[in-house]
Amino acid sequence: MYAYDKYDHAIVSARVAEFRDQVERRLSGALSEEEFRPLRLMNGLYLQLHAYMLRVAIPYGTLNSVQMKRLAHIARRYDKGYAHFTTRQNVQYNWPKLVEAPDILQELAEVEMHAIQTSGNCIRNTTTDQFAGATNEELEDPRPYAELIRQWSSFHPEFAFLPRKFKIAITAADKDRAAIRWHDIGLVLKQDAASNLGFEVVVGGGMGRTPVIGKTIRDFLPKDDLLSYLEAILRVYNAAGRRDNKYKARIKILVEETGVDIFTKQVEDEWTRTRNDGIDFPAEEEARIRAHFTPPPLEVLPAWSDLETISAKDPKFSSWLRNNTDSHKVSGHRIVTISLKPHGGIPGDATADQMDLVAELADSYSQSEIRVSHEQNLILPHVAERDLPALYKILNEAGLGTPNAGLLTDIIACPGLDYCALANARSIPITQAITNRFNDIQRLEDIGELKIKISGCINSCGHHHAGHIGILGVDRKGEELFQIMLGGSGDADASKGILLGRGFPADQIVGAIETVVGVYMDAREEGELFLHAVRRLGTQPFKEALYGNA
Amino acid sequence: MAKKIKGPQIILANRLDDGRAVFFTPKQNWSYQASDAWLAIDEAAQQQAMEAAMKSDADNTVIGIEFIGASDSENGPVPTHAKHIIQNTGPTVRLDLGYQAEGAGA
């Protein structure tokens, strides 16, 4: 993975010193809150219901074991013994003290991490496929491009005060695990007819109160032109994006209001004018960065014959193997998803002890590498098949072995009203109620792939628009109600969920989900997944089951 | 445009140093218990309470001073909105955290 050079170290250290001075001036009263607020947000420090919240960037979701141990140490030393992995491959601490925030940033800088650009109207952490560099489904590892984008966008002076925040995601596989069509810019690595590498460029996706699926503005952009083209898009957006209304300030609104054809022409014109200005990376810089992503020295092994035998004797291990491991590009290895979704637990939360354990397991079994998925799980990307039984045993004993990846209880949920100052309703208790009800793995496997995503407000941090079942918490005269939508998807065939009707009180939402699942189970065809059944049936049978024919 | 204030109110803020939620009291200090808060019933009382709270802010100890709806109870004021009830106690999904875990709040 990428390692800081002397410039990276100098920049991040200088930022820590600068923020330490700003905090001291705030505490002394030399800076007012009005003056200080944008400065703390530039360093990822929010104020939530109970305390400050620090959001730490995990570039494209890649961590090494040393970094994970440091995150655990920070949770223990400066917070309350846990951290929360987010839907943008970041990590959040819910209880840091302002006075200690500079010390936390110093601790992060020592392991080549920071919280820069995790807030504010700037280009945020570029996200990607959590299986990048390990999956046999990708054209090549997309992370070197994500790192190039990170370096280009970090402290980019022209894009420090955009109309609104800006999120980029990239994938190199047909199966989109990064929800790229729901981002301001989504990039799909492709090959043209002559086997040259390039990108499909998708613009104007986003969730929030106006959900929009991104539109392709270029079918194929040669890879060497990536940064100049991104710069052209950002320039058009920066100049023309609305600044009069924050709810209409995202690029998705600009694309919708301008029209995709005119917007595309504006980008192409800007690119024609600026593409030779030296924005694109020179080949030697690409090579320097790419060298950091050299695949680990995994031994090519034959498929481990004992795996099937062991699996046949242990149904729990068998479920975990089936649901929580994926094929690897190197024979004899698997990609392991560590579920942070224990039934009845809080999605994305991990204790400091669990984080330390994952770091140790990464050292023992996965080339010291860890990934964070936007679905709020952790990944060990390079595990030998022969190590899987021992790894599962350790994970299971630590509460990290729930075999539910991709199943109904692998729920994405925002922190909701239990933590978030913006939320209208609580997401986590709804998640817990659902996962407590659907806690039988055999039943979950029978239901099959079904992604539930829950947000506690219209800002959609829980990605409810992209849920096969989406749940949105709303406040109606002081009562928390939960609306259900069906048919959303974050995958390559992205789609927006369709609202079924009025919201349900908290104590009725589990029953409503049971009803929806029941309709699917009764109506599905052989092997038909939930999402496909909803697309075939439409929402009417589900509405009738939930609300009757009235 | 200023938010229209309806009904009895108490004043909520966050402590500057650690962000914890605190409530303005009739003793003109800040308490971590809503039950200690100054319940301002009418407009005149609300204005008086807010002026006092803003003066107290001169020592740079709190941020985000705002009115929140509250009702009276035999144990003192209680916030009316779920968000502020949770601020006064802690996350409902982690009873080991927040004021509720420290024997305060509610």
CATH architecture of A306-397: Alpha-Beta Complex (3.90)
- Residues of B within 8 A of A422 (CB-CB) are none
Q: Label each residue of A200-231 as H, E or C.
A: EEEECCECCCCCECCEEEEEEEEHHHHHHHHH
Q: Which residues contact A7 (CB under 8 A, 6 or more apart)?
A: none
> CA–CA separation, A380 vs A392, rounded Å?
12
Q: How far apart are CA A72 and CA A56, in angstroms?
A: 13
Instruction: Read off φ and ψ for residue A63, nearest 5 degrees.
Output: -130, 150
Give the whole-angstrom CA distance, residue A383 versus residue A330. 10
pLDDT at B106 over 50: no
Residues of A in contact with B81 (CB under 8 A): 478
Domain ranges of chain B: 23-74
Mean pLDDT, residues A167-186: 97
- The overall average pLDDT reported for chain A is 97
Residues on chain A touching B19 (C-beta within 8 angstroms):
47-48, 50-52, 97-98
Chain B positions in Cβ-Cβ contact with residue A478 (cut-off 8 Å) = 80-82
User: Hey, are the CB atoms on B92 and A429 less than 8 Å from each other?
Assistant: yes
Q: How far is A312 from chain B (nearest CA, A)?
A: 37
CATH superfamily ID and name for A127-291: Sulfite Reductase Hemoprotein, domain 1 (3.30.413.10)
With bands split at pLDDT 50, 70 and 90, how would you rate the model's confidence at B2? Answer: low
- Which H helix or E strand runs over A299? none
pLDDT at A217: 98
**DSSP codes joined into one string, A501-544:** SS-EEHHHHHHHHHHHHHHHHHHPPTT--HHHHHHHH-SHHHHH
Number of neighbouring beta carbons within 10 Å of residue A265: 14
Average of per-residue pLDDT across B20-47: 95
List chain B residues with CB under 8 Å of A98.
16-19
User: Which secondary structure element, helix H or strand E, spans residue A473, and what is its range?
Assistant: strand A469-476
Instruction: Kindly tell me if the per-residue pLDDT of A94 is higher than 60.
Output: yes
Mean pLDDT of A368-385: 98
A386 pLDDT band (50/70/90 cuts)? very high
Q: Output the DSSP codes for A240-265.
A: HS--S-GGG-SHHHHHHHH-HHHHHH
**Quick one: pLDDT at residue B6?**
81
Q: B54-86 pLDDT, tens per residue?
A: 987 778 999 999 999 999 999 999 999 999 999
Half-sphere exposure of residue A308, counting CA atoms within 13 Å on the CB side? 4
A394-442 per-position pLDDT tens digit: 999 999 999 999 999 999 999 999 999 999 999 999 999 999 999 999 9
Q: Which of A282, A289, A412, A273 is nearest to A339 (CA)?
A: A412
Question: From B62, which residue of chain A is nearest by alpha-carbon distance?
Answer: A33
User: Does A51 contact chain B (CB < 8 Å)?
Assistant: yes
Contact B19 A428 (CB under 8 A): no
Number of neighbours of residue A491 by Cβ within 10 angstroms: 18
Q: What is the mean pLDDT of residues A346-361?
A: 98
Q: Let me know if the fold of A127-291 is the same as that of A412-547.
A: yes
Mean pLDDT over all residues of chain B? 91
pLDDT at B1: 44
Residue with token string 């069509």: A181
**Contact criterion met (CB < 8 Å) for A50 and B93:** no
Residue of B nearest to A475 (CA): B82
Which CATH class name applies to A6-110?
Answer: alpha beta
How many A-B residue pairs are in contact by the CB < 8 A criterion? Answer: 68
- In this predicted structure, the answer to whether residue A225 has a pLDDT above a threshold of 70 is yes
Write phi, then psi, for A383 (nearest 5 degrees).
-110, 130
- A33 and chain B in contact, CB less than 8 A: yes
User: Sorting pLDDT into bands at 50, 70 and 90, what band is B4?
Assistant: low
CATH number of A412-547: 3.30.413.10
Over 90: is that where the pLDDT of B96 sits? Answer: yes
Rounded to whole angstroms, how far apart are CA atoms A169 and A128?
Answer: 6
At A480, is the secondary structure helix, strand, or coil?
strand
Cα A304 to chain centroid, rounded: 32
- CB spacing of A419 vs B91 below 8 angstroms: yes
Q: pLDDT tens across A8-29, in order?
A: 999 999 999 999 999 999 999 9
d(Cα A384, Cα A299) in Å, to the nearest integer? 9
Domain boundaries, chain A: 6-110, 127-291, 306-397, 412-547
Is residue B65 a contact partner of residue B4, using CB atoms and an 8 Å limit?
A: no
Q: Would the CB atoms of A423 and B94 count as touching at under 8 Å?
A: no
Asked if the Cβ–Cβ distance from B17 to A51 is below 8 Å, we say no
B64 within 8 A of B71, measured Cβ to Cβ: no
Residue identified by tokens 């420290």 is: B102
Q: What's the pLDDT at A50?
A: 95
Q: pLDDT for A472-493, tens place per residue? A: 999 998 899 999 999 999 999 9
Cα gap A77→A110, rounded to integer Å:
16
Residue B74 touches partner A, C-beta closer than 8 Å? no
Q: Which residues of A touch B20 (CB under 8 A)?
A: 50-51
For residue A392, the model assigns a pLDDT of 98
Substitution target in B6, B56, B65, B83 with the highest count of A β-carbons within 10 Å is B83
Contact between B81 and A419 using a beta-carbon 8 Å cutoff: no
What pLDDT is stored for residue B58 in this prediction? 78
Chain B positions in Cβ-Cβ contact with residue A51 (cut-off 8 Å): 18-20
- Chain A nearest-CA distance from B60, in A, is 6
Say whether residue B54 is in contact with chain A using an 8 A CB cutoff. Answer: no
pLDDT of residue B59: 82
Per-residue model confidence (pLDDT) at position A550 = 58
- Look up the ipTM and state it: 0.93
What are the tens digits of pLDDT across the range A432-474?
999 999 999 999 999 999 999 999 999 999 999 999 999 999 9
B14 chain-A contacts, CB cut-off 8 A: 47
A419 to chain B: which residues are within 8 Å by CB?
A: 91
Interface with B, mutate which of A32, A50, A99 (most B CBs under 10 A): A50
Using CA atoms, how far apart are residues A488 and A495, in angstroms rounded to an integer? Answer: 5
Q: What is the pLDDT of residues A254-289, one digit of tens each?
A: 999 999 999 999 999 999 999 999 899 888 988 999
- Average pLDDT in the A66-74 region? 98
User: How far apart are alpha carbons B60 and B78 in whole angstroms?
Assistant: 26
Q: Strand pairing partners for A498? A: A486
